[in-house]
Amino acid sequence: MASVSFEAPRGMRDFYPEDMRWRNRVFDAWRAAAERFGFHPYDACVVESLELLQRKSGEEVSEQIYAFEDKSGRKLALRPEMTPTLARMVAARQSRLNFPIKWYAVAQCFRYERMTRGRKREHYQLNMDIIGSEDVLCEAEILGAAVSAMRAMGMPDAAWRIHVSSRALLGELLAKSGIPDDQHTAVFMALDKRGKIPDEEIVAILREAGLDDVAVAKAFELLAVTSLDGAEALAGSDSPAIANLRALFDLARRMGYGDLLMFDIAVIRGLSYYTGIVFEAFDVDRRFRAIFGGGRYDSLLALVGGKPTPAVGMGFGDVVVGEVLREVLGESAPIARKGYAIGYMTPDQRDAAIGLAARLRAEGNTVDLALLPQKPKHFFSKAGASDSRYAVFLGPDDLAAGTAQAKDLDTRESHPVTLAP
Ligand code: HAM
């Protein structure tokens, strides 16, 4: 038989144990932050109905769906994002849920995307959503939880920023420029492509959406606004969208992350369902894609058959944050060591090692027990490269003394451990 070698399909990742260390660093920080902020976990199957996804995701995402038919001819797909599923689940129990609800999930998502840095065809996303409140405190809480997760991962504040804008603000500005409401979503989707496709193509899309040359020029002019004050000068001091943004900046300051937030009118988002404040986080040098993104989507529940309900949420992917973390912390970022590695020199010490491992495990410790006798040099070098905090190596003298030394692999200090008689 010809020899074959298989690789993971293009864009899909394998996670070897050394990769899982990075992944768990991110997942642990995500879950801890979501719990710290009072979010409750939910989950759903990665297979969704194609119709739900096509109708409720943004245009770009719809084109990237992995779709298939099951043996009964049902049109199904691997979810590209969690939000339509969440909306479906909430709509199904709307009369029984005690709103507002705060839910989170760590969900694997699939998108058939052109592969670039930071973009895979499969990724995990922390989703945190608050459904049932219009208050901007929801946006502040969600961003606060994301900041808390970033800090827990070891990401320094100086390395990144959250760029914030508002579709409601853009809507007000477009309306002032004479662009009717029914064209706003088309304008958002087109302007979101800025930097990804040439401006001439964006102009062509806008013309197709029904904008004349003057309106197209005005739409582009809006992107030249660089500050909230500049936006206020255009929108007017009575603008509700400006007041809402200012309230968010004020809450962020109170919550201890005001310095991380910056107004950036160019943040529009590629998903059509957003209606209010939108945000994306980037590394300060803008060398990577968005670390996380989200915003308010007050119309989605009604679109999936529920009662109209305000909602806000975010998706925080594992790929980009992993790249930025490796860059900022270095490949050899310290690992959180825990538990014991136990080794022994000859088969004569094996039973004592097994007894010690059993006792330590019964006390709740993680123990990696050597499967074979080893030379001390080999044992300590393998233990040093592992996740274990303490290394215990048993030789004939330890058995004779009835105690052994547990060496702390972080501090290099030792403490005695008693061996069973
Ligand atoms: P999104 O901006 O499409 O939003 O994705 C959120 C995050 O997921 C991105 O910022 C990025 O970190 C990650 N991500 C997306 N696509 C890929 C990819 N192909 N490869 C690697 N990472 C990726 C949403 O999905 C919204 N559903 C978020 C949301 C929740 N809005 C409200 N609630």
Per-residue pLDDT reduced to its tens digit, 284-305: 999 999 999 999 999 999 989 9
Please give the mean pLDDT across all residues of the chain.
Answer: 93
Q: Are 77 and 67 in contact (CB under 8 A)?
A: yes
CA–CA gap between residue 35 and residue 37 (Å, rounded): 5
125 Cβ below 6 A of ligand 1: yes
294 Cβ below 6 A of ligand 1: yes
Closest residue to atom 4 of ligand 1, CA basis: 315
| Chain segment 63-119, per-residue pLDDT in tens | 899 999 999 999 999 999 999 999 999 999 999 999 999 999 999 999 998 888 889
Q: Give just the sign of the alpha carbon dihedral 38, 261, 252, 299.
A: negative
> Could you identify the atom of ligand 1 that is nearest to the CA of residue 129?
33
Other Cβ atoms within 10 Å of 169 Cβ, number:
27
317 Cβ below 6 A of ligand 1: yes
Q: What is the pLDDT of residue 336?
A: 77
260 Cβ below 6 A of ligand 1: no
Greatest alpha-carbon pair distance for the chain in Å reads: 92
Q: What is the pLDDT of residue 274?
A: 94
Q: Which of 26, 81, 113 to mutate to test the pocket of ligand 1 (most atoms within 8 A of CB)?
A: 81
Other Cβ atoms within 10 Å of 256 Cβ, number:
12
Q: Are 265 and 142 in contact (CB under 8 A)?
A: no
| Chain segment 366-385, per-residue pLDDT in tens | 999 999 999 999 999 999 98
Q: What domains does the chain contain, in order, with CATH numbers?
A: 17-329 (3.30.930.10), 340-418 (3.40.50.800)
CA–CA gap between residue 317 and residue 337 (Å, rounded): 25
Q: What is the pLDDT of residue 395?
A: 97
> Could you identify the atom of ligand 1 that is nearest to the CA of residue 292?
10
Grade residue 270 by pLDDT with cuts at 50, 70 and 90. confident
Q: Which one, of 70, 362, 317, 297, lies nearest residue 167 by Cα?
A: 297
Burial class (CB in 10 A: 0-12, 13-18, 19+), 299: middle
Q: How far is the CA of 252 from the centre of ligand 1 (A)?
A: 22
Q: How far is the CA of 293 from the centre of ligand 1 (A)?
A: 6
Reply yes or no on whether the pLDDT at 2 is more than 80. Answer: no
DSSP code of residue 116: B
> Could you identify the atom of ligand 1 that is nearest to the CA of residue 317?
12
66 Cβ below 6 A of ligand 1: no
The beta-carbon contacts of 322-326 under 8 Å, at least 24 apart in sequence, are: 322/22, 322/23, 322/26, 323/117, 323/118, 323/288, 324/155, 324/159, 324/160, 324/283, 324/288, 324/291, 325/22, 325/25, 325/26, 325/153, 325/154, 325/155, 326/22
CA–CA gap between residue 319 and residue 26 (Å, rounded): 10
> Listing from the earlier edge strand, what are the strands of the sheet with 47-49?
47-49, 75-78, 66-69
Grade residue 411 by pLDDT with cuts at 50, 70 and 90. very high
> Could you identify the atom of ligand 1 that is nearest to the CA of residue 111?
19
Q: What is the mean pLDDT of residues 129-156?
A: 97
Q: What is the pLDDT of residue 58?
A: 61
Reply yes or no on whether the pLDDT at 258 is more than 70. Answer: yes
CA–CA gap between residue 327 and residue 349 (Å, rounded): 44
> Could you identify the atom of ligand 1 that is nearest to the CA of residue 118?
21
Alpha carbons within 13 angstroms on the beta-carbon side of residue 226 total 0
320 Cβ below 6 A of ligand 1: yes
> Could you identify the atom of ligand 1 that is nearest to the CA of residue 281?
10
Lowest pLDDT segment from 185-194, 363-372, 382-391: 185-194
Size (the chain), residues: 421
The H or E element spanning position 248 is helix 240-254
Give CA torsion, residues 393, 396, 397, 402, to 10 deg. 80
Q: What is the pLDDT of residue 3?
A: 82
CA–CA gap between residue 316 and residue 109 (Å, rounded): 11
Q: What is the pLDDT of residue 110?
A: 97
84 Cβ below 6 A of ligand 1: no
CA–CA gap between residue 74 and residue 142 (Å, rounded): 36
Q: What is the pLDDT of residue 115?
A: 85
Q: Is the pTM of this model over 0.85?
A: yes
| Chain segment 319-331, per-residue pLDDT in tens | 999 999 989 888 7
CA–CA gap between residue 51 and residue 75 (Å, rounded): 8
Residue with tokens 């950036």: 264
Q: Give just the sign of the alpha carbon dihedral 11, 162, 141, 273.
A: negative
Reply yes or no on whether the pLDDT at 332 is more than 70. Answer: no
Q: Are 123 and 236 in contact (CB under 8 A)?
A: no
